[in-house]
C-alpha cells in the first residue's frame, strides 16, 4: 500500500510529465497562416546572403530542441561513465581476445544483459519480500532493483577482466621458456615458421595456442609478419610485444633471429625475477597483518593472563 507521504511526490511527478506532454503537443501543432515570402526564399539564397543564413540558423521555438540540449549532454556523460565502468566495445573486444574467448562482443553483451536481468529480478524479490525491507523507505525499495542490475552487469565485466588477467599472467610465465625453445630450434637450423610450428605442436600452454593460430593463418596465405603482428596487437602483452617487435624488425632487416630471441629470453627471465621479488615484498607486508592483529595479541594474552590470575588470587 502506498504511503501517504509519497502521494505528493508522485502527484508532482505525474503533473510535470503531463505538462511536458502538453507542451510538446502544442509545439508540434503547425502554425496557422501562410508562410512569409522571405521564409520561403531564404533556403535558396543561403549561399549568397548572410541574412538568409542567419534566418536559417535561428533556433526555432520547438521545446524538443531545448530538451535535447539539456538531455543529450547528460546522456553522453552517463554513457561515458557506463563505458568506463562496463567497458566500451573496443575494450570488451580486447579483453575477450586476451582471455582467449571465442565469443563476440555482441554475445558478451547479451550475456551481460542476462546477468543484469537476473540481478534485477533477484534484487526485486529481495526488496519485495525480505523482512528487513518492510520497514525501509519506499525510495530504497525502488532503488534496490536497478542497483542489483548494475551490480550484476559489473560482475560479468569483472569476471572477464579476471579471466584476461589470469591468461596474461600465464603467458608471462611461459614466455621465457618458449623464447628459449625457439632459440634452440633456430640454432639447430630450422626456420622461424618451422620453429613456431614445433612449439605449437609440442607445447600445451597459452603461447602454444597463440602460435597454433599463427601457423594456421600462415597456412591460409597470411604473411608471417602480419600474423605475428595480429598476435602482438590483440594481446597487448608488454613483454610479448617487445619480443615480437624485435622479431619483426629482425625479419625486415635480415638480422639473425637466434641472437634476437636469446636476448629477449634473457630480458623475460630478468623481468620475471623482478616481478617475483616485487610480489614477495608485497606478500611480506601482507604477512604482518595476521602477525600483528592475531598472533601477537594471543601471545600477549597467554603471557599476561596467568600473572593477572595470580594477582587476583593474592588479593
What is the average pLDDT across 117-122? Answer: 91
The residue behind cell 600462415 is 218
Q: Which residue has the cell 508540434?
A: 28
Q: CB under 8 Å to 119, separation ≥6 — which residues?
A: 148, 149, 150, 151, 152, 153, 155
Mean of the pLDDT values across residues 30-58? 72
What cell numbers appear for 304 in the block? Answer: 599476561
- Domains of the chain, first to last: 170-276 (1.20.81.30)
Q: Are 268 and 238 in contact (CB under 8 A)?
A: no
Q: Is the pLDDT of residue 115 over 90?
A: yes
Give the whole-angstrom CA distance, residue 47 versus residue 212: 61
Asked whether 243 and 179 are in contact (CB, 8 A), the reply is yes
Which residue has better confidence, 65 or 209?
Answer: 209
Task: Over range 162-189, report the average pLDDT.
Answer: 91
**Range of lowest pLDDT (75-84, 118-127, 266-275):** 75-84
Q: What is the pLDDT of residues 14-30, one digit of tens each?
A: 888 888 777 777 766 66
Residues 6+ apart with CB under 8 A from 49: 42
pLDDT confidence tier of residue 2, bands split at 50, 70 and 90: very low
Could you report the per-residue pLDDT of 159-170, keeping only the tens digit for each? Answer: 999 999 999 999
Helix (H/G/I), strand (E/B), else coil: 282? helix
User: Could you say which DSSP state residue 131 is in?
Assistant: G
**pLDDT, mean of residues 199-204:** 88
Residues 251 and 192: beta-carbon distance below 8 Å: yes
Q: Would you state the pLDDT for residue 1?
A: 43
Alpha-carbon distance 125 to 132, whole Å? 12
pTM exceeds cut of 0.85: no
256-267: per-residue pLDDT in tens? 888 888 888 888
Confidence of residue 79 (pLDDT cuts 50, 70, 90): low
Please check the confidence at residue 43 and state whether its pLDDT lies above 60: yes
Q: For residue 230, is pLDDT > 50? A: yes
Closest of 189, 251, 258 to residue 226, by C-alpha: 251
Query: What integer pLDDT is reported at residue 72 of this predicted model?
Result: 59
Note the pLDDT of residue 253: 86
List the one residue out of 169, 168, 158, 161 whose CA is nearest residue 279: 169
Least Cα distance to 40 among 54, 29, 50, 55 occurs for 55
How far is Cα of residue 98 from the mean position of the Cα atoms in its chain?
A: 12
Amino acid at each position: 500500500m502506498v504511503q501517504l507521504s509519497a502521494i505528493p511526490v508522485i502527484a508532482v511527478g505525474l503533473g510535470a510529465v503531463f505538462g511536458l506532454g502538453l507542451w510538446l503537443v502544442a509545439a508540434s501543432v503547425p502554425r496557422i497562416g501562410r508562410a512569409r515570402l522571405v521564409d520561403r526564399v531564404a533556403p535558396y539564397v543561403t549561399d549568397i546572403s548572410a541574412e538568409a543564413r542567419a534566418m536559417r540558423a535561428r533556433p526555432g521555438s520547438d521545446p524538443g530542441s531545448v530538451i535535447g540540449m539539456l538531455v543529450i549532454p547528460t546522456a553522453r556523460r552517463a554513457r561515458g561513465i557506463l563505458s568506463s565502468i562496463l567497458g566500451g566495445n573496443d575494450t570488451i573486444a580486447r579483453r575477450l581476445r586476451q582471455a582467449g574467448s571465442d565469443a563476440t562482443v555482441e554475445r558478451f553483451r547479451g550475456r551481460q544483459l542476462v546477468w543484469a536481468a537476473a540481478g534485477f529480478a533477484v534484487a526485486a524479490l529481495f526488496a519485495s519480500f525480505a523482512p528487513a525491507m518492510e520497514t525501509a523507505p519506499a525510495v530504497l525499495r525502488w532503488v534496490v532493483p536497478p542497483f542489483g542490475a548494475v551490480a550484476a552487469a559489473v560482475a560479468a565485466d569483472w569476471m572477464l577482466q579476471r579471466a584476461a588477467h589470469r591468461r596474461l599472467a600465464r603467458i608471462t610465465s611461459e614466455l621465457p621458456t618458449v623464447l628459449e625453445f625457439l632459440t634452440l630450434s633456430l640454432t639447430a637450423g630450422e626456420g622461424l615458421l618451422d620453429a613456431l610450428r614445433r612449439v605449437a605442436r609440442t607445447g600445451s600452454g597459452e603461447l602454444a595456442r597463440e602460435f597454433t593460430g599463427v601457423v594456421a593463418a600462415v597456412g591460409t596465405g597470411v604473411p608471417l609478419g602480419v600474423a605475428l603482428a595480429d598476435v602482438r596487437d590483440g594481446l597487448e602483452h608488454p613483454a610479448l610485444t617487445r619480443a615480437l617487435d624485435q622479431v619483426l624488425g629482425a625479419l625486415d632487416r635480415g638480422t639473425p633471429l637466434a641472437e634476437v630471441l636469446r636476448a629477449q629470453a634473457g630480458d623475460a627471465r630478468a623481468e620475471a625475477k623482478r616481478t617475483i621479488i616485487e610480489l614477495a615484498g608485497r606478500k611480506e607486508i601482507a604477512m604482518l597483518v595476521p602477525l600483528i592483529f592475531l598472533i601477537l595479541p594471543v601471545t600477549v594474552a597467554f603471557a599476561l593472563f596467568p600473572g593477572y590470575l595470580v594477582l587476583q588470587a593474592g588479593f
